[in-house]
Structure 1
Amino acid sequence: MHAVIDQIHPPSTHTTSSPEKMITVGLLWHSLSSGNLGVGALTESNIAIVRGVAESLGRRVRFIVLGSGSDSLPSLAAELAQAGHALENQRVRLFRASFREQVRRCDVVIDIGEGDSFADIYGFKRFFFYWLSKNIVCSLGRPLILAPQTIGPFDGAAARALAKQVMARCSKVFARDQLSSDYLAQLGMRGNTGEAIDVAFRLPFRARRFADNGKVRVGINVSGLLFNGGYTGGNQFGLSIDYPATIRRLIRHFQALPEVEVHLVGHVITPDMRSEDDYARGLSLAEEFPGVIVAPVFSRPSEAKSYIAGLDFFTGARMHACIAAFSAAVPVVPMAYSRKFNGLFGTLGYDTIADCKADSDDVVCQKIVAGYTARAQLKEKVRASLQRVEERLGRYEASLAQVLGAVVGK
């Protein structure tokens, strides 16, 4: 199993001075500089997965990250360079010749939608932008793979038609859950589709060793976005609970347990957008509840996962924070607020979820407290589900091996 506590995928010690041809892989709509560590987790994880597949084929990779930001990650670049790989970061300027030039450099392009979904729920303008970028890649004759992500919904007739058109041109389209697979089938998409799971399950980590103080460490991820009512400030996501009141209730409950140490773990850190910033909200809650520990600002997603991996129990509303816990075999009760939670964890047969769009405040708290009480059993349940993760990611890796193998064989 890849996601084992106290294990990190170490850089290969292999370096090469031979003139072997590097495979150039474009990572379209990935990001190494997003304040949302979930987006960064997808990028780092996809790099780890592609690297592993390429090394099994005896090749090294030049990764070109093509996203909305231009900042790179020096620590990751150094790790890759040590193993003979290379990392570049290029900002997508879709209507300039530079984008096409970058795509032409690639042997393969992998697209994850910079937020891991291909849908029109964020507006037609954004959908059209991503649709056009995919068509440009295909028009330039480069194999395009849609990495495991949520597919749909496409509520508009035009968006549905355009989505089907471009997905038909892709080498492979991977859904990350059963709901998305069913949706693809409803669209009549078959032949080049597959179902895997979120690539962030493969994010490297090393479980943090906290000082032994005899405490049970309970991690709570507080979503700054949900705490503030969404971008509109008016319960934008249609929650059935009073989210701020529920968070305060959970902190109060766990602080009252003498054996517990409460950690508030941010997973979206955006100082320039306070309405989204988990870390800022954690600091304000720490003033209300003296004694809680606010996790530090993490410089990269693997640091956040390593911190979470050292905890004894976890709950939260940021899905990739919950994936970090789950893939490190930490007992977790996700606080779901969208279809993506139910689709992802339901696909794994993991039904221990507090549904913040259906359950009452009381029920959400009861489910989380029950999860904490039964955390030993919950840990075993997580471990059993991780077997499904490995099988599903294996499908994605096998498809990558086929595409990259064709490149190697040229």
Structure 2
Amino acid sequence: MTSKASIDFIIVAFRNSLSDIEQLAESLVSSANRNNHASRVIVVANDDDAYTATGQRLVIQGHGNIGFAAGVKLGVAASDADFVVVVNPDCLADEAALARFFNYLRPGCGVVVPRLLAEDGSFDYLPYENWTYSIGRKIAELRCRRELSKYRGGTLPSFAKIPGAFIGLERGVALDLDAPFDTAFFLYAEDRDLTDRVRARRLPITFAADVEITHIGGLSGTSVSRLVETAKTDGALRVALRRFGRLGAALFALDTLMVDTVKTVLRRATDGEAHRSAMRRWANSRFADPGALTEQELQRQMSTPRVTDSRSSSDGPPSPNRVLVLWADNSAANLGLRVLAQGNAELVREAAQGVEVDFQDFGPGDSRVSFGTRSILRDIGRRNGPIKTKLRQYDLILDSGAGDSFADIYGLKRLSFIAYAHWMARRLRIPLALGPQTIGPFNTVIGRAIARRSLRQAELVTSRDMASAEYARTVLKRSVDAVGTDVVFMLPTREEPMGTRDVIVNVSGLLWFGDDHVDSTYYQAQVRQLIEGLLDAGRRVSLLAHVVNSPSGNDDIDAIDAVSRSLDRPGIELLIPTDLDEARAYIASGRVLVGARMHACLNALSQGVPAIPWAYSRKFAPLLSAVRWTHVFDLREKDDVATSTIEMILDPVQSAVLAAEALDVAASARDSMAACVDVFASWFTVQRADGSSARRAAVDAPIAAA
């Protein structure tokens, strides 16, 4: 088959996920090759990450952060293809969409742009908005949202601009257009300028409405970074100058100051200092072009302090020493939440010395503040609301996900609490990290959109199983930084000798009294059958509560009391721990544990005690398989789990296998947590070296109310 025109894809990368860049590059080249186009990807790295060059991937690196437009120019100069396609790192496309896009690339095509979609599948009209002043921006937003969304393709309407996220054109045309973005623009607004120059030359701009490309949107586009805001304002001033002269640039500055003033009065978020910083450059040149911004100039402006903070001192920036662990509580009735609290605290303390750790659950708990509905309502619209005031005290927000709550299967209400805390951390410029946890599932469009935004915001993302890591990569489009296991394996092991007790059975009040997960009648019958079978075989049984003194009632204490009374068998010991340490001591004294509370089972395995989990949700399987523990029965299948469990315990060969494998699990799981410790240790090292927490502290005071 005759080869078609050659295509080079240009990706300008800056602090993007290496794996995401490689996956994007592979998908672009594979699609082009399957459509018989000779192609390669040119990665222009504006950072010093270790990108991999291959036969069809050229990496240009070592020039530093020269900005997007200059990066594209390097890529075009290195290309020898018939066509070039500029692709943002945050774009996703399937092979069918790319094949249709390739069909538009032919001599004389001018500039071709696709139909961009947001994460939820709706039309992403923002990249097409063409404006100069604030009133024009509102009009452009309205027309792009209402009219362009229904446009069936053809010449791009005059009210819209070329979206710089994904464009294709002949390489010769790109060179004639200054390759094709003007390098006077460091970041943002270069596509508005390109649109003006393309139309001035009467080159066609084709809107390929049948080509749908998902545009996730990078952090630079969604954050309130002072650097980004400065670059945006500088670019917008340059567009105003080129369209309407020096008076036009001065009018834009006045327009921006008025908008910032109104937002301040209305207590809306605005980065007025970044805007004024950019405008001072232009005012000093009397609104003639002051020259292109550089990274050094932007960094100098960004590092200039705006206010002082009580934690700053003349001795230099403080280290990031205060960490808040979200959705964990060291005084919770559910001892699993105490595991999350103490385990995440141990993870942080092992990663960095001298760190203070506090805990915040959805309710007050260890904290005096709730992060629930009432506190959110009191926090919205207030500069010093209860949640903002709480978060401002910390240098890192570590989200435990309550183990498995970073999902929408528990309802959007709980997810909205998590999302609001993340949003406030972003507004206050406090780094967010996700500790080892289950990620997903997200079965709703809004749930997936919230999750993707949180993962893009997070500086570190860790998971406690490979299934979560794969879900984050494929569905949420964010590769995790490390895969460990549950933080229970960070806890110190007990010295108490094993075997002083025989079989410990954890009875779940959640399953005994409710039908939300499994049929309670079935569960009750299986528990009674298990205990009676063990007692009849001459084994000693202790019943363990793992959720104690719950204010909502019907906890594990109520459940083990109900079991004991219903059986009326002598010799059944009831174990009601007063805290996590006592619970782990009880568990360490057993020969084997059977339980429906996952952290009761994990408390056993982390101490080398065999556990036979009775699973009731998806969180059990991936986590336990990750530590290579396969001795699990699923209550949802409604099998005779009691008989199978009794047979396993009474069989001396199987019991010996359980004991040996449990010791291996405890050792290997602790080793697997080293990867999580390492990424957190690296993060703390970098933060303490560059004093970023001090910069964050210096700017958090003037943040406007949400």
Q: TM-score range by the shorter chain?
A: 0.7 to 0.9
- Asked if 1:68 is matched to 2:362, the reply is yes
Aligned letter for 1:42? L
Match of 2:510 among 216, 225, 243: 225
Moved over 6 A (4+): none
Change (3 A) 1:333 1:47: same
Aligned letter for 1:310? S
Match of 2:487 among 199, 215, 229: 199
Separation of aligned partners in 1, 2:344 and 2:550: 27
> What does residue range 149-298 of structure 1 map to in structure 2 within 5 Å?
149-208=437-496, 217-228=502-513, 230=514, 235-238=515-518, 242-258=522-538, 260-275=539-554, 277-287=555-565, 288-296=568-576, 298=577
User: How far has the Cα of 1:125 moved from its partner?
Assistant: 1.8
Matched residue, 1:34 = 332
Deviations 1:253-294 (A, max 9, x none): 111233x2210001011353333x111221232232221000
SS at match of 2:352: helix
* CA contact 2:472–2:480 (8 Å) conserved in 1: no
* CA contact 2:473–2:480 (8 Å) conserved in 1: no
* CA contact 1:218–1:262 (8 Å) conserved in 2: yes
Aligned residues: 361
* CA contact 1:309–1:330 (8 Å) conserved in 2: yes
Separation of aligned partners in 2, 1:211 and 1:371: 14
Separation of aligned partners in 2, 1:253 and 1:337: 22
Separation of aligned partners in 2, 1:113 and 1:178: 16
- Asked if 1:393 is matched to 2:682, the reply is no
Which consecutive unaligned segments of at least 5 residues does structure 2 have?
1-317, 380-384, 692-706
Matched residue, 1:140 = 428
Separation of aligned partners in 2, 1:316 and 1:98: 39
SS at match of 1:357: helix
Matched residue, 1:310 = 589
Matched residue, 2:206 = none
User: How far has the Cα of 1:163 moved from its partner?
Assistant: 1.1
* CA contact 1:64–1:90 (8 Å) conserved in 2: no
* CA contact 1:208–1:309 (8 Å) conserved in 2: yes
* CA contact 2:545–2:556 (8 Å) conserved in 1: yes
* CA contact 1:168–1:192 (8 Å) conserved in 2: no
Change (3 A) 1:175 1:210: closer
Matched residue, 1:325 = 604
SS at match of 1:149: coil
Change (3 A) 1:372 1:389: farther
Change (3 A) 1:195 1:117: farther
User: How far has the Cα of 1:210 moved from its partner?
Assistant: 8.6
Match of 2:344 among 35, 42, 46: 46
Deviations 1:55-77 (A, max 9, x none): 3xxxx1222322234444xxxxx
Separation of aligned partners in 1, 2:329 and 2:581: 14
SS at match of 1:402: helix
SS at match of 2:673: helix
SS at match of 1:242: helix
User: How far has the Cα of 1:223 moved from its partner?
Assistant: 0.6
Q: Which moved more, 1:243-252 or 1:203-212?
A: 203-212
Aligned letter for 2:511? L
Deviations 1:276-322 (A, max 9, x none): x11122123223222100002x2222221111011111111000000
Separation of aligned partners in 1, 2:438 and 2:499: 39
* CA contact 2:325–2:358 (8 Å) conserved in 1: yes
* CA contact 2:502–2:541 (8 Å) conserved in 1: yes
* CA contact 2:606–2:665 (8 Å) conserved in 1: no
SS at match of 1:118: coil
SS at match of 2:332: coil
Higher relative contact order, chain-length normalized (CA < 8 Å, sep 6+)? 1
Q: Which moved more, 1:61-70 or 1:152-161?
A: 61-70
Aligned letter for 1:132? Y
SS at match of 1:247: helix
Question: Scaled by the length of structure 1, what TM-score is found?
Answer: 0.81
Separation of aligned partners in 1, 2:543 and 2:436: 29
SS at match of 2:437: strand
User: How far has the Cα of 1:113 moved from its partner?
Assistant: 2.5
Aligned letter for 2:688? V
Change (3 A) 1:375 1:99: same
Change (3 A) 1:265 1:372: farther
Question: RMSD of the TM alignment (CA)?
Answer: 2.4
Aligned letter for 1:123? G
Separation of aligned partners in 2, 1:53 and 1:170: 18
Larger gyration radius, structure 1 or structure 2: 2
Separation of aligned partners in 1, 2:634 and 2:547: 21
Matched residue, 2:321 = 23
* CA contact 1:240–1:357 (8 Å) conserved in 2: no
Aligned letter for 2:324? G
User: How far has the Cα of 1:251 moved from its partner?
Assistant: 0.6
Deviations 1:159-190 (A, max 9, x none): 11121012111011222112212211221523
Change (3 A) 1:286 1:207: farther
Separation of aligned partners in 1, 2:638 and 2:401: 30
* CA contact 1:36–1:267 (8 Å) conserved in 2: yes
Q: Which moved more, 1:219-228 or 1:284-293?
A: 284-293
Separation of aligned partners in 2, 1:202 and 1:365: 34
Aligned letter for 2:430? R
Question: Scaled by the length of structure 2, what TM-score is found?
Answer: 0.48
Separation of aligned partners in 2, 1:274 and 1:227: 12
